[in-house]
Amino acid sequence: MRLLLVRHGESEWNAVGRLQGQADPPLSALGRHQAAHMAARLVDEPIDAIVASDLIRASDTARALADAVGMPVLSRTDLREVDLGSWTGVSRDEIEAADPEAWRRWRVEGVEGWDGGELYAEAMERVGAAVRSIAAEWEGRTVVAVTHGGCIRLATCHLLGMPAAELGRIMSIGNSSITEFLVEPDGGGRIVRLNDMAHLLAPTAVDDLEVPV
């Protein structure tokens, strides 16, 4: 199966550096613009299904593509972002000021610093099960899954057979970026592209249709 993992466009909390986890802020104006560019990039792909996290920033990003290709968005709670517990809604600056070491370990090593919420190992079990389920349902076809940065990094660990503790070795995933895998029948995967944001760097027809933000 060909699996295209798309991160949602910029949300209103992304714009101000506030951590989201499973909170549900909407896309910003820039995020809607990014989603339109992503849709323009993928509109001619041979897509068989579009699935998305049920959080609004992901579902609205997915809808931009779904409207362009005339397909429904299939909502999945198992593609939600990692639950960040006590860090949900807190700004990056606030966390770094309160506990610089916890902030460094999270950013550099991928070590959870929050209370409550999910451990990365727990979240990877959820995301891995979602990937296996999608691969089984659409074997041999192409699926676009619109989800979240943490989920895409965990899916990458899962597909490459890496433990969740290796999350910190994977680059940050940009808003509206595309990460592509070929998923093998045994559940493993091969990377085709990682964090592809070329559609956000070059002018497209979308720029003729929308007011720049």
- Nearest partner of 193 among 175, 171, 178, judged by Cα: 178
Q: How many CB atoms lie within 10 A of CB 113?
A: 18
Paired with 52 in beta bridges are 75, 146
Please give the backbone phi and psi of residue 17, each rounded to the nearest 5 degrees, phi first.
75, 25
Q: How far apart are CA 83 and CA 88, in angstroms?
A: 8
User: Amino acid identity of 177?
Assistant: S
Q: What is the DSSP letter of 181?
A: E
**Could you list the active site residues?**
8, 81
Q: How far is CA 126 from the centre of its chain?
A: 14
